[in-house]
Structure 1
C-alpha cells in the first residue's frame, strides 16, 4: 500500500513499522480493559466487594481516558507528539504496578484512573500522528490497518488473562501489563519518529484550550461524526462491563471459554476493518459509514429484543453482539477520519475530543449497565440498542 503524507515536512517511516508501533501503543487501552475481565468475579471475592465495586474499576478507567485525552491532545499540539507519548507510557507502567499491589478495591480504583490517564497517550497521539502524515481517505485506510494491530489485544488479552488465572491470581495480570508496556516504550523510543515538532509560537493556556474545544463542539459536521463514533464505542463498553457477568455467571462459561467468546467477537471487528480498507477503494467514506451504522443500530435493537424476551439463550445474546461489534470495524476508522478531515491545524485537540466523547460515554454506559435492569443481559441490551440508534441519528442529523 502506498501512502502519501499530507505534511511534506513530516518524516514518514515505513508504513508497517509505523503501524506496528502506533498499534501497540493504542493497544494499551484494550489490554488494560480486556486482560483482567475474566478475573472480575474472582476480584469481587478477594477484595470483599460487590459487582458494582468491580464495575467501578472499569467506569473510572473510562473516565480517566476521557479526562486524560483532553489534557494530552493540546500538549501534543504544542510540544510535539513523541514527548507526551513517552511520558504517558511511563505513567501507564507505574500505574500498572500500583494496580498489582492494590490491597483494597478503593486503591485499585484510584490506580486504574491513573493507568487510564497514561494509556490514553498512545490512543490520542496515534490518531494525531496519522492525521499529520496522511490525507483523510488514505488516513481512514491507515486507521483500518492500525486496527489490525490494535485488534490483536482484545483477542489475546482475555485469553491470556483466563489462562493466567488458572495458575496465578489477578495481580499477575497487572504485572504482565507493566512488562508489555515497558517493551513497547523501548520500541517507540528507538524507532518512532516525530511527526509534528514543538510549536513555540503556539499559545497554550487553559483558556486557549477551552476555546478550541468549544469551537469543535459547535462544529456540526465534526460533532456528527465524533458522536457516531462515540455512541458506537459507548455500546461496546457496556458490553465489556456486563459480559463477564452475562457469560460467566448467567450462562456458566469458564473464564477460559469466556476468553474465546470475547476473542471471537474481536476477530469480527478486526476482519471487517480490513474489509473496510478494500471497500474504500470503490466507495466513499460516507457511503461505507452509513451502511455500517445501519447494521450497528439494527444489531443493537435485535439484542434488546432477544434479551428482553429471553430469545435464543446464549446465541440470542452472542450473535447480535457479534454483528454490533463487527460493524465498528468500519464505523470507528471512517467516522474518525471524517471528523478529523478539516482539523489538520489542531489534530491533537480534535483527536482528543473524539476520544473524550468515546470514553466519556463509555464511563456512563458501563456504569449504567447494572442500574437499568435486574438482569445484566437486559441492561446491556438496552444500552447497546440505545447507542446504536443514537450513533446513526448523530450522523444523519448533524453531519449532513
Structure 2
C-alpha cells in the first residue's frame, strides 16, 4: 500500500515534501503505540539486569556465535539488495523503463506483494523442506536473477519484460530469505534474543544506508548500479552461509 499512497501524495498539492510530513506523523503514532499499548512479553524471571556491562556481555555472546553471524550476514546482505532496489527504483521504473509515477508505484507494489506472498508460503513449506533448504534456495534464486538482470543490462537488452520479470523472481527468493534467516539466527541466541534482534536490525540499517547512495553514482538514467549492487550483495549473502556449514537442520520434520 505504501508505494501507491506515496505516488498519490507526490501528485497531490503538497508535492514530494508532503511525504516526509506523513512519515513523521506515522512514526510518531508508531512510537506512542509501542510505548503505551505493547506490554513487555519477556517473563520477569528471564529478564537481565540493566546496565552497560550487561548489555556488552550479551552483545559479545551474540557476536562470537559463528552460526548466528552467518545467518545474520546472509539476511542483512540479502536485505541490502532490497535497499538497492528501493533507492534505484525511480531511476529504473521512471527514467529507464518510462513508467509514470502511478505506474511505477503499482510496479513497486507488485514486487512487495511478491516478496510477502513468498514469505507466507515459506510458513507452509518449512516443516517439509526445512529452513536451511528454503534459505539456500532463496539466496540462489536472488543471486541468479540479479546476475541475469545485470547481464541483460550490460548487453543493452533490458526492457520492461526482462526488468520486471527478473526483479519479481528475485523477490520470490528474497521472501524465502526474510522468512527463514532471522529465525535461524535468533534460534542460536535464545539467552539474548533481544540483543540478537538489535544487532540484526542495526546491521540491516547500516548496510541499507551504505548501499542506497551508491545507486545514483552513475546518474539517474542507467540501471547498471542497481543490478551490480544487487548481484554483489546477493553474492556476499550467499557466501556468508559458509559460516553455518555442517549445522543440522532441526526445522524439517522427519517423515
In which range does the TM-score fall when normalised by the shorter chain? 0.7 to 0.9
The alpha-carbon distance between structure 1 residues 200 and 191, as it changes in their structure 2 partners (threshold 3 A), is closer
Q: 1:329 aligns to what?
A: 175
The alpha-carbon distance between structure 1 residues 356 and 191, as it changes in their structure 2 partners (threshold 3 A), is closer
* Structure 1 residue 208: Cα displacement: 4.6
Whether 1:354 and 2:189 are equivalent positions in the alignment is: no
Match of 2:159 among 308, 313, 316: 313
* Distance across 2 between alignment mates of 1:303 and 1:236: 15
Match of 1:289 among 122, 135, 141: 135
Q: Secondary structure at the match of 2:217?
A: helix
| CA RMSD across the alignment | 2.4
* Distance across 2 between alignment mates of 1:170 and 1:287: 42
- How many pairs does the alignment contain? 243
Any conservation in 2 of the 1:292–1:330 contact (CA below 8 Å)?
A: yes
Match of 2:22 among 176, 186, 194: 176
Q: 2:9 aligns to what?
A: 164
* Structure 1 residue 180: Cα displacement: 3.6
Match of 1:387 among 233, 245, 250: 233
Q: 2:212 aligns to what?
A: 366
* Distance across 2 between alignment mates of 1:230 and 1:372: 24
* Structure 1 residue 204: Cα displacement: 1.6
Any conservation in 2 of the 1:307–1:316 contact (CA below 8 Å)?
A: no
Q: Deviations over 1:51-81 (max 9, x none)?
A: xxxxxxxxxxxxxxxxxxxxxxxxxxxxxxx
Gaps of 5+ in 2: 246-255
Q: 1:220 aligns to what?
A: 66
Regions of 4+ moved over 4 Å: 181-191, 197-201, 372-375
After superposition, residues 104-119 of structure 1 pair within 5 angstroms as none
Any conservation in 2 of the 1:294–1:392 contact (CA below 8 Å)?
A: yes
Q: Normalising by the residue count of structure 1, what TM-score does the alignment of the two structures yield?
A: 0.56
Any conservation in 2 of the 1:369–1:376 contact (CA below 8 Å)?
A: no
Any conservation in 1 of the 2:138–2:174 contact (CA below 8 Å)?
A: yes
Q: Secondary structure at the match of 2:41?
A: coil
* Distance across 1 between alignment mates of 2:30 and 2:55: 30
Whether 1:342 and 2:188 are equivalent positions in the alignment is: yes
Mean alpha-carbon deviation: is it higher for 361-370 or for 270-279?
Answer: 361-370
Any conservation in 1 of the 2:91–2:221 contact (CA below 8 Å)?
A: no
* Structure 1 residue 192: Cα displacement: 2.9
Q: Deviations over 1:308-348 (max 9, x none)?
A: 11224122222211111221211012100000002122111
* Distance across 2 between alignment mates of 1:201 and 1:320: 46
Q: Deviations over 1:3-36 (max 9, x none)?
A: xxxxxxxxxxxxxxxxxxxxxxxxxxxxxxxxxx
* Structure 1 residue 212: Cα displacement: 3.4
Q: Normalising by the residue count of structure 2, what TM-score does the alignment of the two structures yield?
A: 0.85
* Distance across 1 between alignment mates of 2:60 and 2:194: 15
Any conservation in 2 of the 1:247–1:253 contact (CA below 8 Å)?
A: yes
Gaps of 5+ in 1: 1-155
The alpha-carbon distance between structure 1 residues 200 and 260, as it changes in their structure 2 partners (threshold 3 A), is closer
